[in-house]
Structure 1
Amino acid sequence: MTSWTDTEGRADKPLSRIRVLDLTLARAGPTAVRHLADWGADVIRIEPPAGAGASDPVGGSRHGPDFQNLHRNKRAITLNLKTPEGHALFMKLAAGADVIVENMRSTVKTRLGIDYEAVRAVNPRIVYGSISGFGQDGPYAERAGVDQIAQGMGGLMSITGLPGQGPVRVGIPIADLCAGGYLAMGISMALLDREATGQGRWVRTSLLEAMVAMLDFQGARWTMTGEVPEQAGNDHPTGIPTGVFPTADGHVNIAASGQRLWTRFAAAAGLGHLVEDPRFADGAARSRNRAALNALIGEVTATRPSAHWVAVLMEAGVPCGPINSIDQTFADPQVRHLGLAAPVRHAELGEITIVASPLQMTGTTRDIRCAAPDAGEHTEEVLRGLGLDPAEIADLRDRNVI
């Protein structure tokens, strides 16, 4: 079993004084909680006991890479919220918590009696974070939310992929991950506000809201000018030339948009004569003649290996980089320097390596303190903290409350 104390490895973290009750499933909610756990929050993950509605963990086994990556730095208890005793224990935990995070359908938490208003009645300082598929209310509120569905409904799949090939999903669960990041940010803001007001807030987002927000300038092209962006493949939709170009041993990304970078790139690539070509004289012309320009660039870049072009263009001050496979990414010297693959010891698996937080800050480290817990690993520890004695805990276990 993973050892844990209230302060172990957390004392220097900015959220070390914050206690979080984690009721999340799937990926978006756990992602939000992971941000809080990584930065010191005392997270208690609450799951149903066996036979009381426990679901399969996202991505497979609890000891697999997905679960271990999602649920590190947490404690875990089992609690049957559908029983009166389980509900009472949850409310006792909620009375002393700072944050609750859930991603149930909007009616489920109300039916269980653990919704924001119910918790606020026992703890007005609670910051209650909710992620849904499409929002807590409205015509789609009761729909189940799945990352790929949100990618499609949010417009992302219509602009991803090569022109004419049809919609393409992004290769990561980007709606889940972005919604989780947005919720963690909202929770942090609400905690900061609570220092001034003494009152908690209900913080909400959804996969759909996160996906539409992540459209960013592509969305603004529609909202401001009525332009519907289309698939641009590996080409940047507005900055030209920016895209993927063939090399003698693979491909590189080159970003040479804007007149200054275009001129530098052309000179470094031996294409200086194209700067005076009226087809490529300015950004508008290069946009109109994108295909011809990309073909001319590709003819040249294909003659030398990727490493050559990265070195030459970096020397010229033109952004350029290789297109790595995942193993190449983690072998990259800058990725290794940044410590983005972090070790942690698991009681059964030994030392494992998972993906570190992308944040760094002075005065603390972003080390992973604790591997993802087994189901109910800390149940007795947490209940003892509520004042229950061993006989009471054993009775609750016998009755499948925990």
Structure 2
Amino acid sequence: MQQPLSGVRVIDLTRILSGPFCTMLLGDMGADVIKIESGRDGDPIRKAGARVNELSWYFASFNRNKRSMALELRSARGKEILARMLQTADVLVENYRPGVLAEMGFDDERLGQLNPRLVVASITGYGTSGPYADRPAFDFVIQAMSGFMSTNGPEGTPPIRSAPPITDLVAGLYAAYGVVNALRTRDRTGQGQRVDSSMMGGMVSMFAYLTSDYLATGALPQRTGNDHPITAPYGLFSTSDGEIAVAPSTDEILLRFLTLIGLAHLMDDPRFKTNALRMFHRKELNAMIDEQLSSDTQANWIRRLNDGGVPCGKVQDIGEVMRDPQMLHQEMVLDIEHPGHGQVKMVGFPVKLSGSPCAVRHPAPEYGQHTAEIMRELGLAEDGKPLSSAA
């Protein structure tokens, strides 16, 4: 099967999460991703998270569809081999601190000389230039610096971080998006280009109405917990046996919601006639809704409201999500046979292509598993020099 990126070779110099997530996405779409690893143990994520049969499922989940090559890039020999690989590659992805690749002898001029068609993607904390470019970056710090944390949490409480490493994932997603666009441009021009994706820039792009309203009014968004910052009612409400999330985002859906729970008359109440008034009187309105919903169970309200065209659901834990019939139907939980480690469960593909779908062609590689194979492809199998030797 020809996938969208079949025939595209990606040299992956990344580790930890943002870069490996980017190259995983490219690999899922068919690219031949060669993961360059160095040191005694390779990517540190190989030892992170829960391990089953001596395999990190964290590593396995983000490094599927890749081949691993052990290569010491600080040695002259390693740089020579990398240069040879780049001459025929389509994409180079790296998430070093800005300037490190150039220090290794691979600045933009050298890369252009090696391969003018090469797309070079850099994933950084703050961008490859600017006053913060050299700062070390980590998800928690970027959540704070980007403004993301300032918007999370209930009113009157300290800012709260998101549990998932959202800034890494957004940066990796944008980098993959940039790469496929650069490849499309290369189809027309024949020339590669640089793609820069930053954790902070990616997060700032995600604020939607929070930034647009601030830029329009100068008023900072306030933390509202599970209530919506600009719409009411909208949030978590209490039934007789648990909470449900309800999102009546328009007046039409709100009327359906209030009618179904027996509060349609509130649409004529002077306190609730407009969204601005409902926002002002939100605590009163929420209390009335909670009282009505407490007359029946979570499951019954979820069924009745969804059947009536009102978006709602329960707050599921991760275990419930992994067993959710919709997620199972969408194949969002995969069982992958990993030689030597047994079956590995991982999250599936969120993007579905009808004619050239994503696939796990091979599981995450052992450290250096494909070194000899790749050396043969480069015509270097018989040179007799070990890859880790210094010049």
Q: By the TM > 0.5 criterion, same fold?
A: yes
- 1:277 maps to 2:273: no
Work out the CA distance in 2 between the residues paired with 1:397 and 1:206: 32
Structure 1, 273-282 or 81-90: larger mean CA deviation: 273-282
Which residue identity lines up with residue 46 of structure 1 in the other structure?
I
User: Which residue is 2:322 aligned to?
Assistant: 330
Sequence identity (%) = 38
- Contact kept in structure 1, 2:235 and 2:246, CA below 8 Å: yes
Cα pair distance change 1:140/1:228, threshold 3 Å? same
Find the partner of 1:40 among 30, 49, 62.
30
Cα pair distance change 1:50/1:142, threshold 3 Å? same
Shift of 1:397: 4.8
The C-alpha deviation readout for 1:207-262, integer Å capped at 9, x for no partner, is 11001111122111112221211111101111211101122222111011322111
User: Which residue is 1:18 aligned to?
Assistant: 8
Work out the CA distance in 1 between the residues paired with 2:40 and 2:252: 63
Which residue identity lines up with residue 104 of structure 2 in the other structure?
L
Work out the CA distance in 1 between the residues paired with 2:98 and 2:119: 17
Q: How does 1:50-69 map to 2 (within 5 A)?
A: 50=40, 54=42, 56-57=44-45, 59-60=48-49, 63-69=55-61
Per the normalisation by structure 2, the TM-score is: 0.95
Work out the CA distance in 2 between the residues paired with 1:203 and 1:387: 30
**SS of 1:279 mapped into structure 2:** coil
- Contact kept in structure 2, 1:133 and 1:208, CA below 8 Å: yes
Q: How does 1:227-266 map to 2 (within 5 A)?
A: 227-266=219-258
Moved over 6 A (4+): none
The C-alpha deviation readout for 1:306-326, integer Å capped at 9, x for no partner, is 111111111221111111111
Q: How does 1:94-105 map to 2 (within 5 A)?
A: 94-105=86-97
- Contact kept in structure 1, 2:243 and 2:314, CA below 8 Å: yes
User: Which residue is 1:357 aligned to?
Assistant: 349
User: Which residue is 2:109 aligned to?
Assistant: 117
Per the normalisation by structure 1, the TM-score is: 0.93
The C-alpha deviation readout for 1:273-307, integer Å capped at 9, x for no partner, is 22221111121111111111111111222332211
- 1:221 maps to 2:213: yes
- Contact kept in structure 2, 1:157 and 1:168, CA below 8 Å: yes
- 1:170 maps to 2:158: no
User: Which residue is 1:154 aligned to?
Assistant: 146
- 1:28 maps to 2:15: no
- Contact kept in structure 2, 1:342 and 1:367, CA below 8 Å: no
User: Which residue is 2:172 aligned to?
Assistant: 180
Which residue identity lines up with residue 350 of structure 1 in the other structure?
G
For this pair of structures, how many residues does the alignment match?
A: 387
Work out the CA distance in 2 between the residues paired with 1:21 and 1:15: 14
Which residue identity lines up with residue 160 of structure 1 in the other structure?
N
The C-alpha deviation readout for 1:123-155, integer Å capped at 9, x for no partner, is 000000001111111111111111111111111
- Contact kept in structure 1, 2:272 and 2:281, CA below 8 Å: yes
Shift of 1:82: 1.0
Shift of 1:398: 7.1
- Contact kept in structure 2, 1:105 and 1:142, CA below 8 Å: yes
- 1:307 maps to 2:299: yes
- Contact kept in structure 2, 1:102 and 1:130, CA below 8 Å: yes
Unaligned residue ranges in structure 1 (runs of 5+) = 1-10
Work out the CA distance in 2 between the residues paired with 1:292 and 1:242: 13
- Contact kept in structure 1, 2:16 and 2:43, CA below 8 Å: no
Work out the CA distance in 2 between the residues paired with 1:397 and 1:148: 36
Find the partner of 1:79 among 67, 71, 84.
71
TM-align CA RMSD? 1.6
- Contact kept in structure 2, 1:247 and 1:303, CA below 8 Å: yes
- Contact kept in structure 2, 1:344 and 1:369, CA below 8 Å: no
Unaligned residue ranges in structure 2 (runs of 5+) = none
User: Which residue is 2:192 aligned to?
Assistant: 200
**SS of 1:21 mapped into structure 2:** strand
User: Which residue is 1:396 aligned to?
Assistant: 386
